Amino acid sequence: MFEDHLVKPCEVQARNGMRAMGTLKDTAQLAAKMDRPGTLFEAMALFYSASQRGLDLQKQWREDWQAWAEYASKLPGADTTSKLVARQSNIMLQAQAQISEQTTEALELMDNIFVGYSFWVSQQLQSDKDDDTS
């Protein structure tokens, strides 16, 4: 019944691991051929772009948590026990939703960085192969 909840994460992690090993192999091959000056600058540009996206996420998260703290600090209309409990539950649910959203955003960023880097490395190696056959 719930085997998907057990099997699917294992499949996803296995695929990620295989891709990571392939990218690691490609990175080692590329590092051995770092004779083009543009390659280092492109790698630095990739790193800068990834860093900037991470900083942008942090800034947004800080703003989101500040807004949540403002919302959570007030209990308007909570003049009965049931309304107070409902409001406090809503505060916690919003925090949980925010944590879930931020975790998803962080993982999407990691995936995007990995895919972009893997593609870039493969392009560099393909360019080397094309240069060797010319």
pLDDT at 1: 64
The secondary structure of residue 73, as a DSSP letter, is T
**Which value, to the nearest 10 degrees, does the dihedral of the CA atoms of residues 37, 40, 42, 44 take?**
-140
Give me 82's structure tokens.
């049931």
Domain that holds residue 24: 3-133
Q: What is the value of pTM for the model shown? A: 0.81
Q: Tens digit of pLDDT for each residue in 25-81?
A: 998 988 887 777 788 888 899 999 999 999 999 999 999 999 999 999 988 877 899
Considering its fold, how many domains does the chain have in total?
1
